[in-house]
Amino acid sequence: MHYTVYCLDHDNMVERRLAHYEEHKAYLATSPVRMVMSGPLLAGDQETMIGSFFLYEADEIGDVMRFNSNDPFNKAGIWRTVDIRPFLKRVDNR
């Protein structure tokens, strides 16, 4: 099953986000579930980072939730909201 993880930052988190980026990136490399894709969500200016998006493939949503809860961005209080949902992939044009 695929799972989307949609995280929105608190306001004015760009500097804090950048301060924890290397730790976040290293943590993602340890994922026990398969990461299909990930990247920052952007504001309307298409430059300012305002959140994070992940698409995982995992057996259980709990595996994704546990991994996300220990993410350095989450522990640093960057994300205001985290929404994790099952996703039924019907089309993949990669």
d(C-alpha 93, C-alpha 15), whole Å: 34
67: its two tokens: 């991994």
Structural domain contains residue 61: yes
- pLDDT category at 93 given cuts 50, 70, 90 is confident
**For 42-91, what is each residue's pLDDT tens digit?**
999 999 999 999 999 999 999 999 999 999 999 999 999 999 999 998 98
Structural domain contains residue 75: yes
Structural domain contains residue 69: yes
Task: Read off the CATH number of the domain in which 23 is found.
Answer: 3.30.70.1060
Structural domain contains residue 26: yes
d(C-alpha 81, C-alpha 59), whole Å: 23
Residue 76, domain extent: 2-87
Q: Which residue has the tokens 């595996």?
A: 63
**For 15-40, what is each residue's pLDDT tens digit?**
999 999 999 999 999 999 999 999 99
- Model pTM? 0.92
d(C-alpha 46, C-alpha 38), whole Å: 16
Into how many domains does the chain fold?
Answer: 1
Structural domain contains residue 82: yes
Structural domain contains residue 92: no
